[in-house]
Structure 1
Amino acid sequence: MGFLQNTFSVCVGIGCGIYIAQNYDVPNMKKLMRDWMGKAKEVEESYKKPGGSKN
């Protein structure tokens, strides 16, 4: 019974995801994460100590 219940849950989740993606303005997560990583690198560079690291 667990297999059928899990399969049903996955199918309902996929169906809801498809409906939401088609009917609502869902952001492109890949582009969004790339933008956030770029901003994080800019912040990191602005707070980096001058002179680089010395080992």
Structure 2
Amino acid sequence: MGIIRSNFLFMMGTVCGVYVAQNYNVPNIKMLANTALVMAKHLEENYRKPKKNKEDDDNH
């Protein structure tokens, strides 16, 4: 009885999560995270400040 009592909230959350995933249109979190990561990389590449070359500074 101790294991059931101590893990009751975890088990109920799992049961509710399975129910929601089976009966509702839940977005794929992994695909959503990948899309966000690609967009963040794209923004970083486009708006990053250009690097200063030390060679250019030495020649002038």
Instruction: Structure 2: state its 5+ residue gaps.
Output: 55-60
TM-score, normalised with respect to structure 1: 0.78
Q: Higher mean Cα deviation, 19-28 or 6-15?
A: 6-15
Q: Tell me the residue number matched to 2:14.
A: 14
Query: What is the alpha-carbon distance in structure 1 between the residues aligned to residue 38 and residue 21 of structure 2?
Result: 26
- Residues 1-55 of structure 1 show CA distances to partners (whole Å, capped at 9, x for unaligned) of 87543311111111000000001111111110000000001110111123x3658
The count of corresponding residues between Structure 1 and Structure 2 is: 54
**Aligned to 2:7, what secondary structure does the other structure show?**
helix
Q: Tell me the residue number matched to 2:48.
A: 48
Verify: 1:24 aligned to 2:24, yes or no: yes
User: Considering only CA atoms, is the larger Rg found in Structure 1 or Structure 2?
Assistant: 2
Across the aligned residues of Structure 1 and Structure 2, the Cα RMSD in angstroms comes to 2.2
Instruction: Structure 1: state its 5+ residue gaps.
Output: none
